[in-house]
Each structure stands twice: as structure tokens, then as C-alpha cells.
Amino acid sequence: MNIFDMTIHELHGALKARTLSSVEATTALLTRITAVEPQIGSFITVTAEVALAAAAAADRRIAAGECDLLTGIPLAIKDIFLTEGIRTTCGSRILDSFIPPYSATSWEKLRERGAVLLGKLNQDEFAMGSSNESSAFGPTRNPWDVTRIPGGSSGGSAAAVAARQAIATLGTDTGGSIRQPASHCGCVGLKPTYGRVSRYGVIAYASSLDQVGPLTRDVTDCAAMMGAVAGYDAKDSTSVDTPVPDYCATLKDGVRGLKIGLPKEYFIAGLDAEVQKTMDEAIETYRRLGAEFVDVSLPHTEYAVATYYLIAAAEASSNLARYDGVRFGHRAAAADGLLDMYTKSRSEGFGSEVKRRIMIGTYALSSGYYDAYYVKAQKVRTLIMNDFISAFADVDLMLTPVAATPAFKIGEKADDPLLMYLSDLFTIPVNLAGTCALSLPAGFSATGLPIGMQLIGKPFGEATILRAGYAFEQATEWHQRKAEI
């Protein structure tokens, strides 16, 4: 078995048994990155030296008898996470030389446990996109078909797992940015409940929607990564102080007796036939495993995309105001006065999708429009939350597609923002409701493209969806397929 094909638990076994060192594993992954990166483009920055030093330190810890599940495991993280002393760009030219003086809490937690950082992963600029085409550092390609997009905005995080450039990765999910690329790249991705993982040190796109989560090869790894990053952080006022369960401990509890909801608004006419077929087969598998299915309704689903693009853009327009060229980041070379410096720096630094959302958000918050757009969107958000509360009164979790189609071609939707926005139809409501959802491989198209399914959990119900995902994974072989690259 190739080292780079291993899961966290497999590699941990080898490290603990001392049949392999972290330096060997890290070297194998760095070699793999070098080999496939020209075709994929998952990374913005590869941190080979930092990685090898951390691996050597991990080997010393292991030799001293300290072998935590994550000690010595080579990981990579989306370039949205601040890493002290390591360039962090958020996929934007405006931060192309930004070296942060502190690290994100979520990465810090992994690092303290001995994880090794291979590098910073490509993404849509400021996490705004569903295809990774809006990165200022070039697009990422789907390892299953390099003419296609990997999904976004955590496209690099999903592609790096699928191309075996990292054992596991971290991404962020504001409207589907972990789940949709996980689905398109055939890996497991978890969007935790809002407040479950600290946002401190994660570059904000839409603060009320952003959440940090893992992308992995299987559900077991996902549970392990989730356990490592979850928990209250006094530095994030929106993080929730509730105990973190042992996600790994309940993985094998099965699905017998679980009630799974099928929201009718997610099984619509426009759904790709192969996606529909994949969902049908997944439902059958769960029935065999002893789960019960219930039809439910989330009646305000059709307003979710519009609501999302008002709230997310409004928050983004404010969150991105700090990129003004004054204290850090890109500053235009020649400017005539303050206003000109602002205008030029931001015009040069931001890409077109980011500018579009800043414009939409600024408009939605403007005096005279605020009530009609922002306030109304917040009201609809409440209705969508209530939809989920009602549905969860009857079921333990819900099963839906992640995306209406498998990965599309690079450039296919690039010039049609509305069409692009609709690719997040099934993932956005979960962010608006603030609850959790897992994306995991459920099948393949005839042309060999991965198709994922989404298991939506109750707030703080990560353990239940991970356990349901694990049961499915044990009963199928989809997660074992590897992209030929």
C-alpha cells in the first residue's frame, strides 16, 4: 500500500507500531504533491521545511511514547486558516504576501496534537464560489477528471484528499463549501453545527454562516478530525460551551431504528437522473440496515438561495472592509490621496466575484433598502430554521443529494453567476438553519464521477450523522475507489 493512500487510522497504526516514521510519511506525501500538483493545483503554498521539521518533532514524541491519533499525521488546510509565520492568502491577490502573526484556533488544536502541516490549500477567493475558479492563484482541477471543477470553495481541500496529496484536510463551509467539493471529489466532508468549532483565526466571509470542518477519506477519519477541532473557544463569542462527545466511540452503533427524513423539496424534477438513482440506492441500503424513512417537508427551501446571497453578501461587504491597504495586504503602488489609495488597492486586490458580492451586500445594507433586503432575508432565515425544527420533530436525520449534478466542466458556469449560485441549492439551507450535515460518497456516474449524499443532523447531532455515515460506508465500497492520478 502507498503511504499516501492511507487513512489517518491506518497511518496512526503504522506510526504507533514504529513500522513507519512521520518523516517517511511526510516525505512520501511531499513527493506525491510534487508529482501530481501540476495536474491538480490543490495548493497555494507547500510548506515542505515546516512539514519535515514538524514530522521530526512528531517522531521524537512517538519515540517518547506519546502517540496521539494525530501525532505525525501529514495534513493540509485551506488557505483561509491563519498560520503564524506562514503566508495566508485566502485565495486573494489582496493578501498575496500576508504573513499572519497568529494561528487559527482550529489549526492550533491539530498542531498541538502533533499534526504535520504540508501546506495551504487552494480555494475560491475569500471562500466565494462553488468551483474554485475564483482563486487568484489559478483553478484547482478535479482529480477524477481534470477538465472538471473540484467544487468550491474548499476545492483544494477536497482535491488534495482525492488526489492523495494529504491524509486529511480542513475546510470551511458557508453555503456548502465543504460538502459540495467533498461530493464532487468523492471524499467525506462534515459541516458542523454553527458554534461547534471556533472561527477564531479563520478569515471571515459570512460570519453568521461560516463553520470549520474536516475533509477525509472515510467517516472514521472524519470523526477523529472532528473530535480534534470541536469545542468552545473563549476567543470566539459565537462558539458554544457544550461538551464535545467522543464521535469515534459511537460510530459502530448502527442505524437500526433511526428515522431518516426525505425532504420532498430536495427531490425535484431538475435532479440529475444518476444523482436520483444514487439516492434511491442509498435509501435501499439504509432500509436493509434497519433504518426507517419518513417523508418530510422543508417548505421554504425555494427561498434559501436568495436569502443566503443577501445575508452572506451583506456580512461579506462589512467583513472585507478591513482590506484597505492601510495596515497589511496589497496597497496600490501609486495613489493620489486616501480615497484613490482605497479604490486602487481594492480594485487591484479583489477579483470579480468578490467585488460582485461586496456590491450586492453594500446595496442590501444601504439606507432605504435595508428593510426590504437584509431584514426580510433575516425573517426568511427564521422561517427556514423553523422548517428544520419542525422536520426534526419527526426524524433523527435527513438524507438528501449534495448537488443536483456531478462535477461540471471548468468554465461551464463561470460566466453565469446565477447558475453557479444554484449549484448550492441543497447545501445552503443547512447553513441558514445553523445545523450540521455530512457529505459522503454514495455512488458514481456512468462516466466515473463521484456522487455524494448529504446526511443532515439536528443541531449538535454530529455523532448521529457520523454513525449513520459509518454504517453506510461499511455496507458499501464507494469510499474505497481512488481517482486514477
Partner 1 sequence: MKYQPVIGLEVHVQLLTDTKIFCGCSTTFGAEPNSQTCPVCLGLPGALPVLNKKVVEFAIKAGLATNCSITPRSIFARKNYFYPDLPKGYQISQFEEPICQHGWLDIQLEGEALKRIGITRIHMEEDAGKLVHGELSGGNDGSGVDLNRACTPLLEVVSEPDLRSSDEAVTYLKQLHQIVTWLGICDGNMEEGSFRCDANVSVMPVGAEKYGTRAEIKNVNSFKFVKQAIEYEIQRQIDLIEDGGTVVQETRLYDPNSGKTRSMRSKEEAHDYRYFPDPDLVPLVIGPEWVERSRRELPELPEQRQQRFIVELGLPPYDAEVLTASRGLADYFEAGVAAHGNAKAVGNWIMGEITRGLNDNGLVIEACPVTPVQLAELLKLIDLGTISGKIAKTVFDEMWRSGKSPELIVAEQGLVQVSDTGAIEAIIDEIMAANAGQVAEYRGGKEKVFGFFVGQVMKASKGKANPAVVNDLLLSKLRG
Q: Which residues are catalytic?
A: 78, 153, 177
Rounded Cα–Cα distance for residues 25 and 23 (Å): 5
Residue 366 Cβ vs partner 1, minimum distance, rounded to whole Å:
6
Residue 190 Cβ vs partner 1, minimum distance, rounded to whole Å:
21
Can residue 235 be called a binding residue for partner 1 (CB under 8 A)? yes
Can residue 324 be called a binding residue for partner 1 (CB under 8 A)? yes
H helices of 369-436, in order, are 376-392, 417-422, 428-433
Q: How far is CA 287 from CA 268, 441, 475, in A?
A: 22, 18, 12
Residue 166 Cβ vs partner 1, minimum distance, rounded to whole Å:
21
DSSP-based three-state secondary structure for 356: helix
Closest CB to partner 1 among residues 79, 396: 79
Rounded Cα–Cα distance for residues 232 and 246 (Å): 15
C-alpha torsion 236→238→244→248, nearest 10: -90
Kindly tell me which residue out of 14, 44, 76, 95 binds partner 1, with binding defined by CB under 8 A. 95
Closest CB to partner 1 among residues 340, 394: 340
Q: Would you say 316 and 128 are in contact if contact means Cβ atoms under 8 Å apart?
A: yes
Per CB under 8 A, contacts with partner 1 among 75-94 are: 81-82, 88, 90
Can residue 359 be called a binding residue for partner 1 (CB under 8 A)? no
Can residue 251 be called a binding residue for partner 1 (CB under 8 A)? no
Q: Which span sits near partner 1 by CB under 8 A: 30-38, 65-73, 231-239, 452-460?
A: 231-239
Q: Which span sits near partner 1 by CB under 8 A: 38-46, 290-298, 315-323, 435-443?
A: 315-323
Can residue 150 be called a binding residue for partner 1 (CB under 8 A)? no
Amino acid identity at 358: I
Closest CB to partner 1 among residues 79, 218: 79
Is the peptide bond preceding residue 153 cis, with omega within 30 degrees of 0? yes
Kindly tell me which residue out of 17, 38, 65, 101 binds partner 1, with binding defined by CB under 8 A. 101
Residue 136 Cβ vs partner 1, minimum distance, rounded to whole Å:
15
The residues, any chain, with a CB within 8 Å of residue 56's CB and separated by 6 or more, are: 22, 23
Q: Which span sits near partner 1 by CB under 8 A: 249-257, 269-277, 290-298, 317-325?
A: 317-325
Closest CB to partner 1 among residues 98, 444: 98
Q: Would you say 223 and 465 are in contact if contact means Cβ atoms under 8 Å apart?
A: no
**CA atoms 279, 280, 281, 286: torsion sign:** positive
CA-based nearest residue to 231, from 202, 204, 193: 193
Closest CB to partner 1 among residues 84, 292: 84
What count of residues does the chain have? Answer: 485
Kindly tell me which residue out of 108, 125, 315, 462 binds partner 1, with binding defined by CB under 8 A. 315
Kindly tell me which residue out of 63, 249, 294, 321 binds partner 1, with binding defined by CB under 8 A. 321
Count of residues touching partner 1 (by CB under 8 A): 43
Closest CB to partner 1 among residues 240, 268: 240
Amino acid identity at 209: L
Q: Would you say 150 and 132 are in contact if contact means Cβ atoms under 8 Å apart?
A: yes
Can residue 362 be called a binding residue for partner 1 (CB under 8 A)? yes
Q: How far is CA 47 from CA 27, 77, 114, 133, in A?
A: 12, 11, 16, 23
Q: Would you say 262 and 291 are in contact if contact means Cβ atoms under 8 Å apart?
A: no
Kindly tell me which residue out of 338, 359, 372, 389 binds partner 1, with binding defined by CB under 8 A. 338
Per CB under 8 A, contacts with partner 1 among 189-208 are: 199-204, 206-208
Phi-psi category of 41—alpha, beta or left, where left has phi over 0 and alpha has psi -120 to 50? left
Kindly tell me which residue out of 49, 237, 371, 484 binds partner 1, with binding defined by CB under 8 A. 237
Q: Would you say 358 and 341 are in contact if contact means Cβ atoms under 8 Å apart?
A: no
Can residue 175 be called a binding residue for partner 1 (CB under 8 A)? no
Cell (9 digits) for 306: 436568495
Rounded Cα–Cα distance for residues 298 and 292 (Å): 19
Q: Which span sits near partner 1 by CB under 8 A: 111-119, 146-154, 228-236, 399-407?
A: 228-236
Can residue 314 be called a binding residue for partner 1 (CB under 8 A)? yes
Rounded Cα–Cα distance for residues 125 and 47 (Å): 20
Q: Which residues contribute to the site for partner 1 (CB under 8 A)?
A: 81-82, 88, 90, 95, 98, 100-102, 104, 199-204, 206-208, 234-238, 314-315, 317-318, 320-322, 324, 326-328, 338, 342, 362, 365-367, 370, 374
